[in-house]
Structures are given as C-alpha cells and as structure tokens.
Amino acid sequence: MSKPGDIWLTGVEHIPSPNADERPTGCEIDLLVIHHISLPPGEFGGPYIGQLFLNRLAPSAHPYFAEIASMQVSAHLLIRRDGTAAQFVALDRRAWHAGQSVYCERDRCNDFSIGIELEGSDDVPFEPVQYDALSRLTKRIRQRFPLITPARIVGHSDIAPGRKTDPGPCFDWHHYRELIA
C-alpha cells in the first residue's frame, strides 16, 4: 500500500486505500481532477464513501450498493461536507479515480493526475468550508507539483465527457479559481 517516501499531507486524516499502484516510470504529475461523490446518491455524511475506497462497501446496505460494491476505486483526497479532509492515496502514487479518460490527447489520466473528491452531487451546492478546504489543498498540491497550473485543473466531466458530469453544475468554478489565485 504505502512505502517510505510516499507523499502524505499533514493535517488530514490518513486512510490508505488498497486501490492504488505505482505511476508509470518518468510520468510527471501535471493535472488535478475535481470530482464529486455521494453514497447513497444524494445522501451525505455516512461512512459509505470510505468503505467504497477501502473495498468494504456492503452490497446489502443499500440497493444502489449492489451495483458498485465490487468496484475498485479511490481518490487521493476526499473533502467532506463539513470541510474535513481524508487522504486515501499518497500523492505520488496512482489513485484509481478517473477511469477511462483523456486530457490534451493523453489517455489514462490516472497516470499523471491527482484526484480530489468533494462530498456532493450535481444538484446540491457545495458548502463554503469545502471550497476553503479545496483551495488550501490545491495550493499545497501545486507547491509540490508546479506543473499543475490553473489551466490544468479540470473536472471529471472534462476528461470523461458524456460519461461523467462531476463536479457538476453546482460547482462554482469562478469562486474556486478566485480562492486559488
């Protein structure tokens, strides 16, 4: 799972996910992907996102979970509705967040990106504390990975159009970009 030298941020909860692996040799991290997730869909605050990222989601806990419980997915970071953050994958490792994806004619975005999940959905505005946490984490990540310029911060929908909608129409890109400027 993790090894000495892995990049774990301070000030966030560490919950190592098995759903990660090494990035390809020589692959530089130069993309940040913003996502949203809620489990069950449209519900917030439960333990289910973490359980999904740890392969511990019980298919019987909710009808929707039967469809997704066997998926092996993760993100580097999760920002909950209250603004608290958890890190599931070391930043220098490949999290399994983007799936089939393309950015600037490069596929396999997991190879060269960092994924941040916001607890949310397409039809519910995000909390101000989530934007605050996201901007702080973005600044810390960009200090460590300067190839992630503001132009190389995208939504999941940008790298998987037609397949994904997140972070969705309720995500305030203008406000977020002001916070990270």
Active site residues: 117
Q: Show the tokens assigned to 113.
A: 């990106």
CA separation, residue 9 to residues 20, 43, 92, 98, 179 (Å): 17, 27, 11, 21, 20
* Pairing, β 85-87 against β 13-14: parallel
Strand ranges inside 23-152, DSSP E: 31-37, 77-79, 85-87, 94-95, 102-103, 106-107, 113-119
The DSSP bridge partners found for residue 142 are none
- The CA–CA distances, whole Å, from 131 to 17, 29, 126, 141, 155 equal 24, 22, 8, 15, 14
Cα(115)–Cα(138) distance, integer angstroms: 11
Residue 20 CA to residue 109 CA, distance in Å, equals 14
